[in-house]
Chains A and B, each alone.
Chain A
Amino acid sequence: MGGLWNWIGGLSSPIELSTPLGLAAWSVLAGVPVGIIALYFLKLRRRPVRVPSTLLWQRSLEDLHVNSLFQRLRRNLLLFLQLLAVALTMLALAGPQMKGSGSTGQRYVLMIDNSASMSATDVPPSRLARAKEAAQKVVDAMGSGDLAMVIAFSDTAKVVSNYTGDRSILAKRIESIAPTQAATSLREGLQVAAGLANPSKQIGEGVVASSVITPKLFIYTDGGFSDVEGFSLGNLEPEVVVIGPPPPAYEPPAEIRPNAPADEQGRVRNSSDNVAIVALQSRRDEEKADVYQIFGRVHNFRGEEAVTEAQLYRHAVDRPGDPGELVDAIALKIPPQTDQAFKFDLTDPGLAPFEVRLTVKDALPVDDRAFTVVGTTRKAQVLAVTSGNRYLIDTLKTPLVEERADVAVMTPDEARAEAAASEIRGGRYDLILYDGVRPDAPPQANTLYFGALPPGPAYEKAKDVQQPVILDWDIGHPMMQYIRDLSLVFVASARIVEPPAGSRNLIESNQGPLAFLAPREGFTDAVVTFPLIDGDVPNTTWFRYISFPLFVLNSIQALGNVREGGGDETARPGQPVVLHAETIGKEIAVDSAARPGVRVARSPQGTFIYQDADKTGMYLARWEPSGRLPFAVNLFDFRESDLAPRGLVPDGTPETMQESYKIKIGYNPVTGTGKAPQVQKDIWWYFALLALGVLLVEWYIYNRRVYI
């Protein structure tokens, strides 16, 4: 009975529900009381009994009819008892749980890190397997009334299982968590957990949970993420379970490593068994045009010197995932905890994917390979609409422009023709130059206007000015790169307009902006407000200066979506890849080693967004008739490659240094440890016992005619 009293005392605590039954079972169950009532209405064929006379019974009934409502209630006592019993049974089946002083039901949020570093095998079989085991233990120890939610997180968080008390489902869901090669973002996971941990209402699978219970949050991770700052956990109680080898005994930190990420600076870091390629790029040699360079950086996370070999493999463009052929190799000797750079020179390889492989055996294989694409992978598709501006056309014929762009030249009349107009509408071009021409409608492309204003109400209030003097220009913008001599340029007249909101001025004059960038529905309009020629007479002296072809080239580079080699932009596993395909088709196909021929539809911006790049390696986008665009997906995440678990304080660490080992969530350092979930208690069986008791009372009343 003590338990019951505790339970009654705890009634002020919120009750949460966890049912093993599904929706179908519940709907059947809900029919039971309805059925009982219906049976009572259908009645209850009264058993006929012959009696000597109904005289006395009738009189008794007459007496009772004085308070017939009350009598009716009494007559239905058995009905009420049955309904009560059913209601209690349903309550019991609903699996009510209570949290209060740890003696009743508990809710768990199990966050399991499945980022790239969790694939490390330094704790056999792998860190992820260990994390799943540890989470499984919590599930096994759950009381039948407890609820648990499982979230897998890497750079994104995914709810693997909603709140449920079904341990077999939880076990299945935990088992289904697969390793990814993505980076880690605890914030992402925490946001999902905080949002879902205490829902006022949950739709679909799962259980409606009250919003007041404090869930226990277990985070199974190796700590490979930055501290989550400025995040309020609310009523979550985090407990970080650090998966990974125990940290070595404390040593005072040596020096600050220059290559570590900013928030890693000054942090005490332990060594781990990993050698990783942390960067890889390919560039055309600035001096020798036909030579490409592939250079990268390898980091040794070990506590001792690592000797390895960086092997360069060339892959076939059309077959992502082929083994490749060995092209070159460089021996590397990397001191502990430092970087080593390497470089390969390639003479005019054409368009080809390359892979750099480290021969070292370490705990995390995924970062021992890195991929890049050599060769101009994509030319800008440029359309110049001009009525024969010789200066502009010549500028578009320089070798550099021809290397980076396919330029088409049309007169305004040709551009208005149906074939060209449909290409413009269909996003065929990356960049359209309008030389003194204003299109009827904005095209589906970036634009560069000379002496004309884009269509639209924002450009209605223009005014003509004479001889504006260029005062300043924005050299920070890529379009104005290397442009130095604009102060010498003379402009005869310009049509100046107040740039719309969100614009960026490129060239300022004493009478207003002479050039600006305006955003438009995912595209950019670059507007030069003065015409290049006025009739046959030049309107400006800009052609005479080197800055004009530079400006045009910069514009094509910046607005034409040019990609050169495996340059700056690197796709990360698990993140969407934006592809610029020179096609007017509605979709393209993307091949990967695992899944060839994934169809990708065009997005409203005219680009193609590929969502399935979840593994590192080479990918190939292709489209009809012969378009090919190989792209590489690489990890390149220092934190993921750094396998030293964070969050465990090594033995012997002085008090003052302990903080730096801890993972900070919000503003609270959380020490990683923690096993053994609390003792929990269900309360559903109280209801079941009550229901049984009610049934007994009913039976007793029915048979013994003992009435309340």
Chain B
Amino acid sequence: MSLETSNIREAPHRAPAGDPNSGPLLDPVFLHKLEQLELVSRKIFVGRMKGERKSRRRGSSVEFAEHRNYTTGDDIRHIDWNVYGRLDKLFLKLFLEEEDLHVYTVLDTSLSMDFGTPTKLRYGKQVAAALAFIGLVNHDRVLVDTFSARLEQGLHGIRGRSQMWRVVQYLEKLQPTGASDLTAACREFAIRHAGKGVVVVISDFLDKRGYQEALRYLLARNMDIYVVHVLSQEEVNPELVGDLRLVDAEDGDSAEITISAPLLKWYKDTLNAFVGGLKEWCTSRGITYIFTTNQYPFDKLILNYLRERGLVK
């Protein structure tokens, strides 16, 4: 961090010691919430969501799809001998191929995430953990990547509930560092991960270079993209007073402001325009946009909000 932090007052929304930020990610309450999520998500899967994630591709699987005439070159192992015995014709038995679902989670770990109570990063970790847990429970392939200035290689190819501890361990270790470069991270991500899947980007999107290009890289990969936009309560409703020099936590840029009613109004208008612009940009391109603040309980977000938005199925 290049900033001289000594004479810079800690942001009022920085978490004091001893509150949710400093505790272990896997505290009992959190685990309890995850358990609940498991049950709920299973119920959802068993219920109305069944089969929706089945691949359109035919393959070798246990789930029968249909029959078709044998042609030369087909694998004789797939001939339905029972049908041949009855009809004396060669039919192939086709099965639905069950695909591995790749659940990618891309978590912003830049310095700007280190604000709020709890910090946006911790909130993001919780969301990421919850999503990973759900993915693991459903035997999806879970991948967790993080990025700040560039994409960091994270956990790859974890499968099964038993791997949850790795996820938690990994997330625990994450520390806020550096400036965020969403575009670079997304480009790298797109290069690395060619396969289809679900991408959940958890970030505050406070990147001065914009988010459009970054999300276009993901769109180009034809993935199901989910954007979780996390802002802290202090960003939504700043409680600043007086004559201030605002210092950007990431690049050290400063803005001299004197808090006044019109300025706050302008700020809120700008914030609304920013959030609304991101949302509109996403929805118009088939990206599911979810806005949340660090004050919104993440389990509720997962359960209700994500379900409504179709992220959890």
Give A residues with C-beta under 8 Å from B: 44, 46-61, 63-64, 71, 74-75, 77, 702-703, 705-707
Contacts and interface: CB of A to CB of B under 8 A. Distances in A.
A56 B271 contact: yes
Interface string B39-82: 00000000000000000000000000000000000000000000
B11 interface: yes
A705 B264 contact: yes
A61 B255 contact: yes
B107 to A, nearest CB: 16
Nearest to B3: A50
Contacts of A60: 263, 266-267, 269-270
A60 B270 CA distance: 6
A43 to B, nearest CB: 8
Interface residues of B, number: 49
B260 A46 contact: no
A689 B270 CA distance: 41
Interface string B165-178: 00000000000000
A703 B239 CA distance: 11
B140 interface: no
Nearest to A74: B260
A49 B242 CA distance: 11
A237 B21 CA distance: 83
A77 B244 CA distance: 15
B9 A50 contact: yes
Contacts of A75: 258, 260
Given A52-B112, A74-B260, A57 B241 contact: no
Contact of B262 (A54, A56, A74, A706): A74
Given A50-B11, A61-B255, A55 B115 contact: no
B292 to A, nearest CB: 15
A61 B264 CA distance: 10
Interface stretch (B149-157, B187-195, B245-253): B245-253
B246 A705 contact: no
A294 B205 CA distance: 121
Contact of B248 (A53, A71, A706): A53
B246 A57 contact: yes
B68 to A, nearest CB: 57
Contacts of A56: 206, 235, 267, 270-271, 274
Given A56-B274, A63-B270, A702-B241, A48 B261 contact: no
A52 B249 contact: yes
B162 interface: no
Given A50-B10, A51-B248, A54-B255, A702 B235 contact: no
Interface in B166-222: 204, 206-208
15 contacts: A46-B243, A49-B244, A51-B11, A51-B115, A52-B120, A53-B112, A53-B250, A54-B246, A55-B207, A55-B208, A57-B257, A60-B269, A61-B255, A77-B260, A707-B262
Contacts of B240: 49
A51 B262 contact: no
B266 A702 contact: no
Interface of B: 3, 5, 7-12, 111-115, 120, 204, 206-208, 232, 235, 240-250, 253-264, 266-267, 269-271, 274
Interface residue SS majority, chain B: mixed
Nearest to A51: B246
Contacts of A58: 253, 255
A66 to B, nearest CB: 10
Among A50, A61, A64, A705: residue with most chain B CB under 10 A: A50
A554 to B, nearest CB: 96
Given A47-B242, A60-B270, A71 B255 contact: no
Contacts of A44: 243
Contacts of B258: 75
B245 A46 contact: yes
B247 A50 contact: yes
Contacts of B244: 46-49
A706 B261 contact: yes
Q: Which 8 interchain pairs have the tightest Cβ spacing? A: A707-B261, A53-B206, A52-B112, A46-B245, A60-B266, A75-B258, A54-B248, A60-B267
Contacts of A77: 260
A82 to B, nearest CB: 13
A49 B264 contact: no
Contact of B247 (A49, A61, A707): A49
A48 B7 contact: yes
A48 B246 CA distance: 6
A681 to B, nearest CB: 39
Contacts of B255: 54, 57-58, 61
Contacts of A47: 9, 242-245
Given A48-B8, A59-B274, 6 more contacts: A46-B244, A47-B242, A51-B115, A51-B246, A52-B113, A707-B262
A705 B249 contact: no
A48 B247 contact: yes
B256 A46 contact: yes
B259 A705 contact: yes
Nearest to B113: A52
A452 to B, nearest CB: 95
A56 B265 CA distance: 12
A79 to B, nearest CB: 10
Nearest to A46: B245
Contacts of A48: 7-9, 244-247, 254
Contacts of B243: 44, 46-47
A594 to B, nearest CB: 71
Contacts of B269: 60, 63
Nearest to A70: B262
B86 to A, nearest CB: 70
A134 to B, nearest CB: 60
A702 B242 contact: yes
A75 B266 CA distance: 14
Nearest to A47: B244
B245 A55 contact: no
A54 B254 contact: yes
B288 to A, nearest CB: 23
A597 B248 CA distance: 88
A49 B11 contact: yes
Contacts of A64: 262-263, 266
A50 B8 contact: yes
B271 A50 contact: no
Contact of A71 (B232, B253, B262): B262
Contact of B261 (A53, A55, A702, A705): A705
B246 to A, nearest CB: 5
B260 to A, nearest CB: 5
B206 A52 contact: yes
Nearest to A58: B255
Nearest to A77: B260
Contacts of A61: 255, 257, 263, 266
